Structure 1
């Protein structure tokens, strides 16, 4: 097979010959998600096929914004976008394939989790969210439905359809996200900086992991909002002192008094059995993103790419088959070498941050969100497509709604 030039990638009139499309994983409002195999590495990916004719201008803008944001990220716990291939009729978004579905289903099947497992999930979530904030991105829709699991039960943050870029000195005001996970200041229509609303959502997720239910729930939105604004929730007796303390300090109504991510990182409950690769300060992770793993680079060269052109493209964040191949090999190495439930506290992996190209998308999750002064079909709020529906045994909160 003829190898393309390493120096760039343009528009494709048809999907790249470097992918073999397989079965359909899901169908949504804008198109479908298909399983595919990357020919050069043999690794599975998910390809989201978005029909240009179906997307209106607002939806197209949302898709492009999410893609732009995901290109900022190179983190083992944020879903990865490998490349975007555009034709006259479709946009093909090639992304990481998450074969174990949503964290939501894991909770519904097991009920409340043991603290050790919940802690591992929470450590990964917090470190992924921290990396988002370091890149000046606030997610604004963190919930178990938007947290995906790979074959090693590693969490990947997905669905950045409601995310936004933070700017110094500017506050956000859009009330968005899912009601049960929204911070008091969001449902009250107050201005917010950004990180504090993601932290609140993380606290709700931690409660759900440990308790198998939500801290704030009700049969109608006015009562739900009243409970959230009060900040009062019942902590089950089975929780450890450390877990109870952490939840209590995160779910604080006043965002100024709410824990920050650095404070969460220093909490003894969070620190317990923290894997070495997650103990790396976020600012160091950002610097290490620019490093290139020589072992993986050698593998890319063996496939047939020019070493110096690959290095140049990685350093300049150029998306093409060489850099996509590099990314796939990086991710595969991480999945093979890391099972988060079995990782030693001091274990570190030098290669998992060693990429500098395009990064992260999302497989499909059903989205149930709220938008201020606007009622929308959940499928229309985010460009993410859905996997085949699975009957949920119970729902983690009200599924959709308006702000009062």
Structure 2
């Protein structure tokens, strides 16, 4: 396959015309499913017919030539790349089986698993379809039942389609959702309320006045390295928080998949986290739950924008309640919190301690304290500051280790402040800072340009 072959395909009609025609057709017929576009294609496709072909040929039902793909992506798309078909196995069956058949030479992937030329698989709700390579994600398949937003409050049901689970934690479940107008992807955090707080009083998540007051504060926060809250819906049983989506996943997963990060990569990520936490502290907010799971990446690339998440939860929960969310493993919790069980007074220096643990993890792929020590408990190790630098740190710069020591200082009064972290020699890296500034500018331009607003439905 070469460039000439791609360019000599028959002319295609204007993409806008396709959308208009499709919208008129949708008014007359009921869709049984939808292909939600991912970042490489432009339009959603409502599935009405029993069979659809997808490829770069103009004869395909879904012609990828009309999606304005980059030429290097078109070069790896077959004329007919895959086929989606709906089949009823019996006349009395209510729900049909949906199949995807791989018709390509380069391969079609479902959830990053190769289907294989001439083979087919059953397509299920929320399956992600990739073309030729796992990273070239084209569509997410959703059934009509999923599109109705079942399980969401009515105010959200009319605006969003709910998709797959992105993660679960002590404080709630995170789902991928799509806006029905504009098809923008978001993360939706669902926090289930408890009837009472641990002290027998009213649980803070059952206090609508407190929730909405803090939401107003949090929505006013604007920083390129902090997750943006789009909206929040409070119901008697659950709080729904709609957040911008970060496609690269958690820092925790990045560290685990690579075993540890290079010093250069860790510095680029860590600097952005410091910018975010410095902004929070300047705004009078202490995060209190900083950990790799709450640091999100915009892409799978090493050079990527980074954002801190879950800072809002610390404003909605008291210290004692927050302590109970650590699931018995307070690895990132500052000594002064552990010493009082979350009931005592503490300062924003608790975040600096957590940042020290995070940097240690980034550079080594391990935590500084031993959960399985036979004689000294994890809590005692933390409150006494008992850690060392194993051989994996032999090739790490002294400046990096000095910064970790400064942050992992037991006495919060002697611990380095977030402002001084920004000025530390390890982070005085002009090339790194210019790269971060470039990432921030690119993200700002993408979100603010008229073209981007149209494309992403903003």
- TM category, shorter: 0.5 to 0.7
**Contact conserved, 1:34 with 1:46, CA < 8 A, in 2?**
yes
Structure 1 gaps of 5+ residues are 2-11, 166-171, 286-291, 304-324, 330-404
Partner of 1:15: 156
Change (3 A) 1:19 1:214: same
Larger relative strand fraction = 2
Separation of aligned partners in 2, 1:194 and 1:300: 41
Deviations 1:49-103 (A, max 9, x none): 5678x86662633893774553242122222211124678865432112233221
Which structure has the bigger radius of gyration?
Answer: 2
1:82-121 matches, within 5 Å, as 82-85=230-233, 92-121=240-269
> Aligned in 2, Cα 1:38/1:55: closer, same or farther, shift over 3 Å?
farther
Q: Paired residue for 2:331, among 157, 180, 187?
A: 180
CA distance 1:60–1:208, change in 2 (3 Å): same
In the TM superposition, residue 106 of structure 1 has moved relative to its aligned partner by 1.1
Distance change >3 Å, CA 115–CA 29, structure 1 → 2: closer
1: CA distance between counterparts of 2:307 and 2:333? Answer: 20
**How many pairs were matched up?**
281
Counterpart in 2 of 1:262? 419
Q: CA deviation at 1:185?
A: 1.5
Q: Tell me what 1:217 maps to.
A: 370
CA distance in 1, matches of 2:415, 2:398: 19
| Paired residue secondary structure (2:296) | strand
2:307 aligned residue: 156
CA distance in 2, matches of 1:227, 1:112: 23
| Cα 1:19–1:246 shift into 2, 3 Å | same
Matched, 1:244 2:413: no
Higher mean displacement: 29-38 or 41-50: 29-38
Q: State the TM-score, normalized to the length of structure 1.
A: 0.58
Q: Is the 8 A contact 1:72 1:135 kept in 2?
A: no
Kept in 2, the 8 Å contact 1:140–1:162? The answer is no
What does 1:126-141 align with in structure 2 at a 5 Å threshold? Answer: 126-141=274-289
217 and 67 in structure 1: CA distance in 2 versus 1, 3 angstrom threshold:
farther
Matched, 1:194 2:347: yes
Greater mean deviation of Cα atoms: 34-43 or 223-232: 34-43
Question: How far apart, in 1, do the equivalents of 2:345 and 2:237 lie?
Answer: 39
Per the alignment, in what secondary structure is the counterpart of residue 181 of structure 1? Answer: coil
CA contact (8 A) 1:47 1:94 kept: yes
CA shift, 1:109, in A, is: 1.3
Q: Is the 8 A contact 1:47 1:95 kept in 2?
A: yes
- Alignment of 1:296 with 2:448, yes or no, is yes
TM-score, normalising length from structure 2?
0.51
Q: Check conservation: 2:286, 2:348, Cα contact below 8 A.
A: yes
CA shift in 2, pair 1:97/1:61, >3 Å: same
Counterpart for residue 342 of structure 1: none
RMSD value over aligned CA atoms? 4.1
Relative to 1, partners in 2 of residues 1:62 and 1:250: Cα closer, same or farther, differing over 3 Å? Answer: farther
Whose RCO is larger (CA < 8 A, sep 6+)?
A: 1
SS in 1 for 2:249: coil
Report if aligned partners of 1:30, 1:55 keep a CA contact under 8 Å in 2. Answer: no
Q: Deviations over 1:133-153 (max 9, x none)?
A: 111111111111222222254
What is the CA-CA distance between 1:209 and the residue it aligns to?
Answer: 0.5
Quickly say closer, same or farther: Cα 1:86–1:60, change in 2 above 3 A. closer
1:203 maps to which of 337, 356, 374: 356
Matched residue, 1:389 = none
Match of 1:75 in 2: 223
Deviation at 1:277, TM superposition (A): 8.6
Query: Hey, what's the Cα distance between the residues in 2 that align with 1:135 and 1:113?
Result: 30
Deviation, structure 1 residue 198: 0.2
Equivalence for 2:205: 60
CA contact (8 A) 2:337 2:346 kept: no
Q: Which residue of 1 aligns with 2:433?
A: 275
Residue 246 of structure 1 aligns to a residue in which SS? helix
Deviations 1:239-274 (A, max 9, x none): 211111111111111111111111111112112134
Write the distance in 1 (CA, Å) between the matches of 2:274 and 2:416.
12
Aligned mates of 1:228, 1:30 — CA distance in 2:
24
Structure 2: any 5+ residue segments left out of the alignment? 1-22, 24-152, 197-201
- For the Cα contact (< 8 Å) 2:195–2:206, is it kept in 1? no
Report the Cα distance in structure 2 between the residues aligned to 1:181 and 1:62, rounded to whole angstroms.
28
Q: Partner of 1:275: helix, strand, or coil? A: helix
Alignment check: 8 A CA contact 2:262 2:363 kept: yes
Say whether 1:253 aligns with 2:420: no
